[in-house]
């Protein structure tokens, strides 16, 4: 959803007042809260990617357990 905010400069108006009017219009349109809410949003991973990650995590966990069992790696305590 694109919301365009347009401000034209009047004849006897300086650039600071045009900028001030523009920022007021942007605030009034509610663009800033929407952009800030989308700023850190990440897209959802596809089911295939989630499955691959899960498989990779499980195999890595098995490797680490084996290394701990053989004494080649120390177990981290939480």
CA distance 9 to 20: 11
User: What DSSP line would sit under 10-70, residue for residue?
Assistant: -TT--HHHHHHHHHHHHHHHTHHHHHHHHTT--PPPPHHHHHHHHHHHHHHHHHHHHHHHH
Between 16 and 76, residue with greater pLDDT: 16
pLDDT value at position 54? 98
CA distance 47 to 20: 47
pLDDT classification of 2: cutoffs 50, 70, 90: low
pTM greater than 0.75: no
- The residue ranges of every structural domain in the chain are 1-41, 44-78
What confidence tens digit (pLDDT) does each residue in 21-78 have?
999 998 888 888 888 888 888 889 999 999 999 999 999 999 999 999 999 989 887 6
pLDDT value at position 38? 85
């Amino acid at each position: 959803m694109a919301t365009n905010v347009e401000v034209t400069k009047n004849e006897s108006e300086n650039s600071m007042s045009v900028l001030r009017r523009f920022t007021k219009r942007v605030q009034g349109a509610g663009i800033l809260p929407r952009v800030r809410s989308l700023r850190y949003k990440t897209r959802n991973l596809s089911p295939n990617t989630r499955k691959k990650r899960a498989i990779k995590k499980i195999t890595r966990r098995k490797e680490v357990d084996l290394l701990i069992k053989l004494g080649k790696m120390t177990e981290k305590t939480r």
